[in-house]
Every structure is written in structure tokens, then in C-alpha cells.
């Protein structure tokens, strides 16, 4: 059997990961990780501004070089059949929106001596929130002149996104802004680099970043109009032309591996490099998402990715509180829909670190258990509702469906006998109710969610959470088998970009059949618990609406508390 | 100078305490404590029923004997002028409602061989809550036929109180009930014992227990009518006659020390023994309460005692959510008003035990601080409102002003950066807002509270709490100097009972001038914090009303959660 391989590159917040996949048999042959070198864990931060987060593009270039060489070496050891010339495609996923200011040749300005110590010329990492004011301006202007722009991004343009960041740059650093010929998302920069297509006119942009972060939509001929953009700032005059007209789905070819990079990496020149996309979106592909499916990436927060049939845009646009809706952003030809919960694992970690007493820590140590595993064990012995506790999962605000960062956590029902494991369980349940709220909001529109697949750091580690979620959602829950669904999805679209004739896949769906596996353990709802959670969810919704909806009886309370701080 | 002394006996939940006071100079000469011997820490409990709490009357008799002998011995050592013949009076305060079934001679049925192993024949300790159903029946019947009965006890008869307990006894143990000639409150039993006036016809009942727990009121000629009582149960026929017609304030003589007890204790025969009263009420006297004053006993819970001028009954009766109103129950001739918070120190203790992480415990240990002192230090560095947290102080329900045990705790405003000291402070603040809610409720009626004196376990131990309370209440706060305001108040009324001619006091007020002192440190509100807390209190009230008032938007939530448990 003539084995072929595809390479996935996954650019995260702190490191880049490579995965070599045997696309004939579906096995993950080798993986490697390379930590970024600049800043703190790869993030260039500011002492004075917690909202500031940049990345040096050199980390992307060096990271690519190092991680690919290493993964090839590992693959040779792991798999006697492997040789680098059997790699037929490369796919790339990255964080985003992470725009990089580039010059006329497409080189990041950060590589220019003039700007080397100026982080405004670096990549503006997704979690840079310095552009909050600009995001509000864009929202306000779009509301007035182009409400259709907002219908696809949850009604509000975010400070994490492309144009807010560029607008902020134009105000705080004219030199960098004026030196920038264009701005390139990280997801597009890496494929362009590998295919020697960096020049902005040649560079193929991905529809994932375009649609979800830059208001790109075929309905209004691509990016927002020149008139709208110049209304944001006269400095934006001409910018639209220096960006792009058309964007492409992952699986399309960004180009072919350049001879220079082929040499550098030890791969075959001319193999296909896919158009890039965001990590979560290719992660959804790697997890096995299908039409009317939901992939829930459960980690510190959740990212909820859904795919719906094309043609349903109108209906989907009307669902409040989603993070974004874009054509072909996950599976080409279908609609990708994003939602999310601002904190999940982060809440449990906060609780474990700040609220668990010494005797519990000691007992966990003694039993050689991590504190959360120890709490889970105790919490698993409780019945739903037994503790009398109920919590809201808003310690980091609420992304979906309220889209409100100015909300905060709540827990109620405490008595003098309330135990730590009861609170821990209530916090898990709260995130489960939050998950249910998102699904309910979508299904109220008439769309159906037929399958829920989970992935991310938590599902394999926390069976208690999985069973609780299954009971709260009243649905079976699958777990994607791969530890690296993002890199797997990237490798998959790399093989799609290579195409059938090169031994790759003819479509994402075909690739998924071969590459995507599930854990044998599937969580199924337990009837009795479902009924108990039904009742608790009703109470959760009461709290949710009272504190979280603008017409709620206690809507002002959390906001007023923030103001006093 | 011819020093004279008075003896205070303070019967608590776990022990009895004696205090010998020099009533000429105001000094506390000696104190002694004796732990009850029966049950667990003096409380006879039931494995099967957490609501069950009884006490063996032998502990009262043996306790009196032992603690008085010991305090006399100590006084001899502490004060060269002291001799037992200089003791001119005895006062008694106790827990309550703690009724004891007695036979015709006034002996507790528990002393009868027949009942010695039957705890239904013991004293029914104040915190025995087995009579919840009976309390509801009494409330319901009074609402219909005698609403005036309820106006003085917060609108609801409690399971802790006299008639509920007797009614429950009549249903669960006919033998004990039928053997009981009468039922005597502990506050009345001890003075009767010492003066050999145990026989129910002779026994002088205190107006404190009568007014606050047995619906006694001069307005309707004492106890509830025979018709009402027999409507509760036909078994109650004739009971009213075997109870009492008239009740007396502390400071009146219950009688004179019998020769038997004088011999036993080594005191002079014939000295005055005051009519008894509850610990909190005599504690308020010992703390220095005046007309229009509030004494706040701050410990595991709070007991709030107030004194208002006679003649204001009508107005005071209209204040919702007080625990009770009775003539002469604190200062003879004035109205005593009771309110309270179900948990204060208990909430902090719960938090310290269940919610403080190991690194905090370790740091506290290292600094040789108790964990609450360590938390207080950190919490003291925060500004009001800085944490963004807000809590409700209902972990043990709400006594005043909602009178609702089916409420529970709440905390909101948590982020991923919330620290334990912030939560600790929010809980202290919540109890402060609860305290303010009580005062506001009273002042809305038109009554003024002119002075707040604190006592109990917390004020001297927790300066952070005291300053926060002063800022929230926007009032100066005094602290009663005595560590034992209850026993001091008991000794004081003992000297009032002895009377001027015996060298005692002519009135409670006169006694207070000599015996009651305050700590030199008085807490005064700080302007800036007052303003900040004003705003937070408004938010607290919003939560309070939404979750706690029957017409509140979220009133059902806490109740529903209890039902699921």
C-alpha cells in the first residue's frame, strides 16, 4: 500500500504545533511542538496595559522551520514507511483575528530595521483588546449606515477584530500605519510565506478570517464599502483596494510550496498548500463536524462551531447572541456559525485555586490526585439538585447568547453546611446550563442541531462534566478521538488542497470519513437526571434573564458593581 | 467602704456561668463556668432528627450548685474585701423558650424515675425545632381568630416557642403530657428553685418569656384565652389555669433565697432573687441599653434588642419582621423589641472552614494568625466596592425583617481574579447590610434609634467588621466593656430585686450607671466609605427584595432549589 501523508500546522497563542497524518490509513504519524521565543510565552505584553498583546512574526517563520523539521524527524522514527516526499499537502490553522502590518512586498513591517523594536508593527494577537473604543465606533457607524454588516457578527463588532485593530493602529502610530501597504491575517500569512505569494496583490485570503472578523460577505461584494471604511477614518481612503476582493475557503489552494521552503523543510517542491483558516474552525473539521452538527471545544472557555446548509442565512442571521456567521468558513459551501462561552475550565481552575480548603488539598495530595479530580469524585456522589445550589457561569462575562462582558459570576443557595464539592458541581452545572442556553437559542430559530461532538482539553479529563452536560443537554455526546483536532483539520484541508489526482481528498467530507474518529465512550443522558436538570435549568434561565437581559429585573446590579470598583 | 455584691447566673446552651459583681464600685469580682454533663456539650440530641434538642434539668440544679460554690471561692481569692454575706441579691438569665414539664410540686418530670430515660420529659431547649407543624397551626389559628396575638411576634408563631413545644409534646407523648401539671420556662425555674417557690401556683413567671414566647400581654389579660388554647387541642382544656395569670419583670423579686439553698451555696438566707429573664434581654441591660437604644449582640448570629417608650405599642406592632415585642421585657415600664439576623459569625466560620485555600491557611499559620484574622488583614486593604462583589447574608435563612427560614446565601460579582479576602469582606458587608435593613425598617415607622451598642463575641475580635458596620450604618458604634453582659445584667437585676434599703439599686437605670462601661475605642463612620456603602446598600436592597419579598421577581428561586434537594 502506497501511504501518503499530509502536514497540519497549528499556530496557537504560545506555540506552533505540527502534525503529520497518514491520509491513507488515517493514523497520526508524528507531532511536534515549538514554543515561540518572543515576549512572555510568545506574547509581547505591556507592563502598563493588560489589554495589550502582540506577537513577533519571526516566531511564525522560525516556528514553521523548526517544527516541520522536527516532525519529519519524528515521523521517520515512528513510521518506517514514511519519507518526506510522500507528503502531498500542507494545511495551516492559526489564532485570529491576528492581523500583521506588511509592506509592498508582503514582508511584515516588524522585519524592517526601522520598526524592529516597535510592537505596533508586530502581529496584533487575537487577545489584544486595546481597540475597544474603535470597536464601539465601528459598531455605532454600522448600526446607522449598514446594519446588515452587524447581523452576521452578533450585533456588535469586537475589539478583537481586524478593522478595530487597524483603526486603533492608525490613531496611535501613524508611522507604522502609513508604512503598511496592507494587513494580513496570520492564517493567510503562513500559506503565503510557504508558497512565496506574500505580495498583497497575489496573496490568497481565507474566508474564515474575512467572514468572521472583517465583515466580508458575498452579499455586499466582499469587504465593507470604501465609503463605510473612509467614514471610520479618512486615513482608510484606498485601504480597501490594498486589502482584497475575494476570499477563499480552506481546502482551496493558496499555492504550491516554493522551492526555497521546500529546501528549508525537506519537503517536495510544488506540493499543495491550503488556504488558511482559524484553529477552531479547522478543529471542528478535525473533530468530525457535519451539517447541522455542533462541535464544542471545551477548554478554558468554549468555542461552539456549527455548520448549517447554505440558503438558511436569513434565518440564522436572526439568532441573537452568536459570535459570527460566515459562508464556507468551516465546510466549503455550507454556513459556519460560531458561538461560545467566555469561561468554562477557567472557572473551575479559579475555584480550585482560590476556594478549596487546606484539608481537601491535603487529602487530594495524599491520594495522589489533582484537586479537580478529587473534587469531581466527591461531586459525582451528589444527585442533581441535592446541594440546593445554583450558579451563573459569567465569571468572565457572557459571550453567547448575551454578548456582554460586563456580567459577572453568581452563586446562590449556600447554607452553613455547603461543601466545596457542592459548589464545584454547581459551577460545572452552570456551564452546562450556559451550553444549553446556546443550543436552545439556535433551535428556537427553527434550525436543528442533530449531533454534538466535544473536543478540547476537558472532555477526556472530566467524565463528571461530560455526564452532567449530557443530562443537561439531554443529548448523547461524542468525544473526538484526536488530541489535536485543529492540526488534524489543517492536515485534512491540506490533502483536500492537494486534490484527488495527487492522492488527496476530493472534499472535506471525504477526508473526515477517513481521518476523524471518536472515543468509544459516548455519554448518554440518564432519564432521572434529565428531569431534575430540566427543573434546575428553568431556574437558571430565570436568573440568566433577570441579571443578563436588558429588560431583566436585576440587569443593572452587576453593571453597577463594576462601576464601583 | 462597705462593699456589697450581687450574683448573676447565666444559663447558656452548653454551660452555666456565674459572675460576682461589686455593686458599690462596679467591678467584676469573679467568674466561673460549669459545663453541663448530659448529652453532647449539654444538649441531648437525636441521631435521627437534627431538629431535636433537649436538656436534662439536673444540669441546671447541679450547675447552680457547682458554679456558685466555685465563683465564691474565686471571689475570696480575687478580692480581700469579699465575704459571701455581702452578696445581697441574685439574678438569673437563661436561654428560651426552654420549657420544662413539671409535676404538681413543681419538680421536673425528668426527676421522676418513671421518665428518667425519656427526653420528652426534659427541658425542651430553645433550639429544639421539632414543633414546626404545631407552630404553623398556631399561626394559622391565630390569624383567623386572634390576629392581635401575632402582631407582637413578627406575624408568625415559631417552632422554638412555648405553646408549639407543648402542643407537639401532647401529640407525641401523651404520658409525659398528662403527667405534667404545668410547664415552666428555664428562666423561671431557677429563681423558683432557689427561693423554694417551685409549686406552679406560687411560682413567679418572668414577663420576658411570657411576652416574647407565650403571647402574654396585659391588653388581653395575660395568656391567650382558654377558648383559643383549647381550639389548638382539646387536651389543652384547663391548661391556662395551670400556667399563670400574671408575669413580672426582671428586677422584681421572685422570692428570697431558701435556707436549704443558702446552706448549699454558702450564701445568706433570705437575700433577694430576681425574677428571671432571657440571656439576650439581661445582656442588653448589662450592655447599657437605654430608651431608643439598640444593643446588637454579634456572635454566631445576632440578637438585636431595643427599648422604646411605653405607649408606642401600636406603632411598633406595625413594623414587619421583628421577632417580638413585649412590655417590660428589658427595662421595666418600657417596651422591649427583639429582632435578629440568623447567621453572622456562623457565615464567616463556614467560609473560613470551607472556602479558604491551602496557601492562605499556610500563610496564616506561618504568621501565627487565626485564619479569620489573616483574612481580615488582607480584606482591610480593600476599598468598599473595589472587589465588585455583593452577597446576601442568608446562609441560615433570614430572621429579620423577612422572617423566612427558606432563604439561602448568595454571592455575585465573581470574576476569574476574585480573591478569598474579597469574598470574606463581601460576606461581612452582607451582614452589615442586613443589620442596616433592620434599623431602616424600624425607623420607617417613625421610631428613632439614637444609640447602637455592640456586644457578643465578635466586636472586640473583629475591628474590620466594626468599622464596616459603622460605615454601613452611618452611626458611631460603642462596644460594651464587659465580657459577660448577660451575667452582668443578671447580677444587676439581682441588686434591683434586693432594693435600695438592702444596699442594692432602686432601678435598672441606676444600676446601669454604676455597672455598665464601654470600651474606649468607639467606631465612627468614615465619610467616603459611607457614600460608597450607601450605593452598595441600594444594590443589596434590590437583591434582598427580589429574592426575599413575596412579590420579588426571583422570590421562588431559593424555595424551588430547596424543594429539589
| A384-407 exposure pattern, b = at least 16 Cβ within 10 A, e = fewer | bbebbbbbbbbbbbbbbbbbbbeb
Domains B5-288+482-515 and B341-479+526-564 share a fold: yes
What is the tens place of the pLDDT at every residue in B246-284?
999 999 999 999 999 999 999 999 999 999 999 999 999
**Angle formed by the axes of helices B485-498 and B508-515, nearest 10°:** 130
Q: Is B409's CB within 8 Å of A413's CB? A: yes
**If you compute the radius of gyration of chain B from its CA atoms, what whole number of angstroms results?**
23
C-beta atoms surrounding B237 within 10 Å: 11
pLDDT (0 to 100) of residue B2: 77
Partner residue facing B408 (CB), from A413, A536, A547: A413
**If you compute the radius of gyration of chain A from its CA atoms, what whole number of angstroms results?**
23
* Nearest alpha-carbon partner for A335 in A349, A319, A358: A319
Ordered alpha helix ranges (H), B252-408: 259-265, 279-287, 313-317, 345-354, 358-366, 371-380
Q: Is A80 on the interface with B (CB under 8 A)?
A: no
Asked whether the whole model's pTM tops 0.90, one would answer: yes
Q: What are phi and psi of A545, to 5 degrees?
A: -75, -35
Query: Cα dist. B85→B25, B73, B117, B264, B494 in Å?
Result: 17, 13, 39, 14, 15
Domain ranges of chain B: 5-288+482-515, 341-479+526-564
Residue B314's beta-bridge partner residues? none
Q: Is B565 on the interface with A (CB under 8 A)?
A: yes
For A544, name the nearest residue in chain B, comparing CA atoms only: B554
* Nearest alpha-carbon partner for A329 in A401, A252, A253: A252
Q: Is B368 on the interface with A (CB under 8 A)?
A: no
Going by C-beta distance under 8 Å and a sequence separation of 6 or more, which residues neighbour residue A247?
A205, A206, A207, A209, A210, A211, A216, A222
pLDDT (0 to 100) of residue B59: 98
For A395, name the nearest residue in chain B, comparing CA atoms only: B415
Going by C-beta distance under 8 Å and a sequence separation of 6 or more, which residues neighbour residue B298?
B344, B345, B454, B455, B456, B457, B458, B459, B465
Strands (E), B299-343: 302-308, 324-327, 335-341
CA–CA separation, A428 and B239 (whole Å): 56
Distance, CA of A520 to chain centre: 26
Query: Cα dist. A559→A405, B389, B413 in Å?
Result: 10, 11, 9
Q: What are phi and psi of A522, to 5 degrees?
A: -115, 135
pLDDT (0 to 100) of residue B289: 98
On whether the CB atoms of residues B186 and B123 are closer than 8 A, the answer is yes
For B556, name the nearest residue in chain A, comparing CA atoms only: A539
The grid coordinates of residue B22 equal 461589686
Q: What topology is assigned to B341-479+526-564 in CATH?
A: Nucleotidyltransferase; domain 5 (3.30.420)
**Strands B272-274 and B87-94, sheet pairing:** parallel
* Cis amide leading into B401 (omega within 30): yes
pLDDT by residue, tens only, chain B of 565 residues: 579 999 999 999 999 999 999 999 889 999 999 999 999 999 999 998 989 999 999 999 999 999 999 999 999 999 999 999 999 999 999 999 999 999 999 999 999 999 999 999 999 999 999 999 999 999 999 999 999 999 998 888 999 999 999 999 999 999 999 999 999 999 999 999 999 999 999 999 999 999 999 999 999 999 999 999 999 999 999 999 999 999 999 999 999 999 999 999 999 999 999 999 999 999 999 999 999 999 999 999 999 999 999 999 999 999 999 989 999 999 999 999 999 999 999 999 999 999 999 999 999 999 999 999 999 999 999 999 999 999 999 999 999 999 888 999 999 999 999 999 999 999 999 999 999 999 999 999 999 999 999 999 999 999 999 999 999 999 999 999 999 999 999 999 999 999 999 999 999 999 999 999 999 999 999 999 999 999 999 999 999 999 999 999 999 999 999 876 5
What is the rounded (10 degree) CA torsion for B58, B59, B65, B68?
-160
CA distance B392 to chain A (A): 9
On whether the CB atoms of residues A9 and A91 are closer than 8 A, the answer is yes
* Nearest alpha-carbon partner for B339 in B477, B447, B481, B182: B447
For B535, name the nearest residue in chain A, comparing CA atoms only: A564
Q: What are phi and psi of A64, to 5 degrees?
A: -60, -50
Going by C-beta distance under 8 Å and a sequence separation of 6 or more, which residues neighbour residue B541?
B433, B437
Contacts of A358 in chain B (CB under 8 A): 356-358, 361-362
Contacts of B386 in chain A (CB under 8 A): 564-565
What is the tens place of the pLDDT at every residue in B276-331?
999 999 999 999 999 999 999 999 999 999 999 999 999 999 999 998 999 999 99
For B389, name the nearest residue in chain A, comparing CA atoms only: A561
Q: Is A561's CB within 8 Å of B388's CB? A: yes
CA–CA separation, A101 and A215 (whole Å): 19
Distance, CA of A73 to chain centre: 29
* Nearest alpha-carbon partner for B411 in B400, B424, B401: B424
pLDDT (0 to 100) of residue A178: 97
Q: What are phi and psi of A18, to 5 degrees?
A: -120, 145
* Nearest alpha-carbon partner for B459 in B201, B283, B206: B283
Walking along chain A (565 residues) 10 residues at a time, the average pLDDT comes out as: 91 97 95 97 93 97 98 97 97 97 98 97 96 96 96 90 98 98 98 98 96 95 97 97 97 98 97 97 98 96 96 92 93 96 96 98 97 98 97 96 93 97 98 98 96 96 97 98 97 98 98 98 98 98 98 97 76
* Nearest alpha-carbon partner for A130 in A101, A166, A159: A159
On whether the CB atoms of residues B31 and B19 are closer than 8 A, the answer is yes
pLDDT (0 to 100) of residue A564: 66
What CATH number was assigned to the domain covering residues B5-288+482-515?
Answer: 3.30.420.40
Q: Is A387 on the interface with B (CB under 8 A)?
A: yes
Q: Is A346 on the interface with B (CB under 8 A)?
A: yes
Give the A:B interface size as CB pairs under 8 Å: 169
Q: Is B414 on the interface with A (CB under 8 A)?
A: yes
CA–CA separation, B252 and B507 (whole Å): 10
Q: Is B557's CB within 8 Å of A412's CB? A: yes
CA–CA separation, A552 and B349 (whole Å): 34
Amino acid at each position: 500500500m502506497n501511504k501518503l501523508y499530509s502536514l497540519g500546522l497549528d499556530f496557537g497563542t504560545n506555540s506552533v504545533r505540527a502534525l503529520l497524518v497518514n491520509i491513507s490509513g488515517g493514523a497520526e504519524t508524528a507531532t511536534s511542538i515549538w514554543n515561540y521565543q518572543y515576549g512572555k510565552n510568545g506574547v509581547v505584553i505591556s507592563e502598563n496595559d493588560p489589554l495589550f498583546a502582540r506577537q513577533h512574526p519571526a516566531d511564525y517563520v522560525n516556528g514553521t522551520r523548526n517544527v516541520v523539521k522536527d516532525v519529519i524527524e519524528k515521523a521517520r522514527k515512528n513510521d518506517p514507511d514514511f519519507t518526506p516526499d510522500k507528503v502531498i499537502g500542507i494545511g495551516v490553522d492559526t489564532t485570529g483575528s491576528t492581523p500583521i502590518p506588511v509592506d509592498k512586498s508582503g514582508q511584515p513591517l516588524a522585519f524592517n530595521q526601522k520598526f524592529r523594536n516597535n510592537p505596533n508593527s508586530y502581529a496584533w494577537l487575537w487577545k489584544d483588546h486595546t481597540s475597544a473604543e474603535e470597536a464601539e465606533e465601528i459598531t455605532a457607524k454600522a448600526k446607522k449606515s449598514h446594519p446588515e454588516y452587524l447581523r452576521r457578527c452578533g450585533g456588535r463588532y469586537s475589539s478583537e477584530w481586524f478593522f478595530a485593530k487597524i483603526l486603533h493602529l492608525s490613531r496611535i502610530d501613524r508611522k507604522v500605519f502609513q508604512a503598511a501597504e496592507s494587513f494580513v491575517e496570520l492564517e493567510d500569512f503562513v500559506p503565503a510565506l510557504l508558497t512565496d505569494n506574500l505580495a498583497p496583490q497575489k496573496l490568497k485570503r481565507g474566508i474564515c478570517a474575512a467572514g468572521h472578523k472583517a465583515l466580508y460577505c458575498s452579499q455586499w461584494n466582499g469587504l465593507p464599502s470604501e465609503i463605510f471604511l473612509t467614514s471610520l477614518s479618512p486615513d482608510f481612503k484606498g485601504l480597501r483596494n490594498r486589502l482584497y476582493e475575494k476570499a477563499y475557503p480552506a481546502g482551496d489552494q493558496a499555492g504550491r510550496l516554493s522551492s526555497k521552503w521546500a529546501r528549508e523543510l525537506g519537503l517536495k517542491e510544488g506540493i499543495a498548500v491550503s488556504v488558511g483558516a482559524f484553529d477552531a474552525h479547522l478543529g471542528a473539521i478535525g473533530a468530525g463536524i457535519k451539517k447541522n452538527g455542533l462541535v464544542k471545544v471545551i477548554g478554558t472557555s468554549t468555542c461552539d462551531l456549527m455548520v448549517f446548509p447554505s440558503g438558511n442565512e436569513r434565518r440564522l442571521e436572526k439568532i441573537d447572541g452568536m459570535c459570527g456567521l460566515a459562508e464556507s468558513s468551516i465546510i466549503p459551501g455550507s454556513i459556519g456559525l460560531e458561538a461560545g462561552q467566555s469561561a468554562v475550565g477557567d472557572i473551575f481552575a479559579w475555584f480550585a485555586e482560590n476556594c478549596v480548603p487546606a484539608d481537601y488539598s491535603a487529602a487530594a495530595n495524599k491520594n495522589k490526585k489533582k484537586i479537580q479530580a478529587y473534587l469531581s469524585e466527591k461531586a459525582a456522589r451528589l444527585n442533581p439538585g441535592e446541594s440546593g445550589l445554583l450558579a451563573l457561569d459569567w465569571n468572565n462575562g457572557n459571550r453567547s447568547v448575551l454578548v456582554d462582558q460586563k456580567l459577572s459570576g453568581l452563586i446562590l443557595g449556600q447554607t452553613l453546611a455547603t461543601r466545596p464539592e457542592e459548589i464545584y458541581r454547581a459551577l460545572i452545572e452552570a456551564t452546562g446550563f450556559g451550553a444549553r442556553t446556546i443550543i436552545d437559542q439556535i433551535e428556537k430559530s427553527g434550525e436543528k442541531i442533530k449531533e454534538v461532538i466535544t473536543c478540547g482539553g476537558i472532555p477526556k479529563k472530566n467524565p463528571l462534566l461530560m455526564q452532567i452536560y449530557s443530562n443537561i443537554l439531554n443529548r448523547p455526546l461524542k468525544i473526538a478521538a484526536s488530541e489535536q483536532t485543529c492540526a488534524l483539520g489543517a492536515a485534512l484541508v491540506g490533502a483536500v488542497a492537494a486534490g484527488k489526482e495527487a492522492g488527496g481528498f476530493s472534499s472535506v467530507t471525504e477526508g473526515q470519513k477517513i481521518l476523524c474518529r471518536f472515543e468509544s465512550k459516548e455519554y448518554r443522558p440518564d432519564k432521572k437526571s434529565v428531569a431534575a436538570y430540566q427543573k434546575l435549568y428553568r431556574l437558571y434561565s430565570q436568573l440568566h434573564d433577570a441579571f443578563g437581559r436588558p429588560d431583566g429585573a436585576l440587569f443593572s446590579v452587576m453593571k453597577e458593581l463594576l462601576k464601583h470598583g
